[in-house]
Amino acid sequence: MIRFAAIASSLVLCATPSIANEIFNYQPQPVLAAQPLQIPSRTIDILGIQIGMTVGVAKSSIEKALPGLKINTSASRLSYSSRGVTVQTPDFVSDVTVNPIMNVVKPVKVNEALALTFSGPASGNQLIAAARRTTYSDVVQAPAVEVLKKALIDKYGPPSFTNESGGDTSLSWTFIGGEQRTCAPKAECSFPTGEYSPSQLATIAGDQSQVELAVFAKITNSASDLSKVSQSSIFLGSATRRKATAKADLDSLKEAAQAALAKASQNVSAPKL
């Protein structure tokens, strides 16, 4: 199971620069379009949020599903250093979150948290991962484990893999080539667990996973009533889409660095001899 916090990351790619690095700002040209990822005859989402959505559309989906909750955005910029020059993009929205409401005096009975991660400007600034966590502080108001499990299966279909252990129920749905694969965790169904983080763009761009879309859900039962849910979490991601966005962002940065280096090297005269 991928940890909820694993997708909340900032996107600042920067190799260790030399002291004399000259910084060039550039505006990336999008080479990928933000487009919701579709599976034939299926709609795979979390609260209407789909992989490939733009920031605006994803925020609208949150507002519709969870009205009244505060939506937070975090801005980042991508930068890359090579041979004495550094190029960097303008700020862009890299993360959208809904944080749980904390109230010690009167705890909220149902607490929602969301974390969405978006790619950089060159890849369309599109959603590449989403996670939702729902916590029930009042066991009376919590759904039964079996009720929530049925709701997940009704929404996503029969799971590719199910496991029950230590009070937790884990379910996953894996799609490759537009088709669901019924499999336990193994090579063809493996999903990369690393973050879409600065130093990992090159690794992500070379990832070999063929998972087009994956859903991971976890249900934890209540200690006071084992039949009820204490907390549930759902993660939605695409290894192939993430690979494509990482390659687009990285290639754009490298091309900009080469152009900046060529510009900085023009008309450089010899030192006085």
List pLDDT tens digits, range 167-221: 899 999 999 988 998 865 556 677 776 777 667 888 899 988 889 999 999 999 9
CA 262 to chain centre: 35
Residue 102: C-alpha distances to residues 12, 32, 107, 108, 158 (Å): 30, 39, 7, 7, 35
Please report the pLDDT score of residue 107 as a whole number: 59
CA 113 to chain centre: 14
The residue with tokens 């910029």 is 77
The residue with tokens 């060159």 is 122
Query: Is the pTM higher than 0.95?
Result: no
The residue with tokens 């087009």 is 212
List pLDDT tens digits, range 47-75: 999 999 999 999 999 999 999 899 999 99
The residue with tokens 């884990």 is 170
List pLDDT tens digits, range 130-167: 999 999 988 988 999 999 999 999 999 999 999 998 88
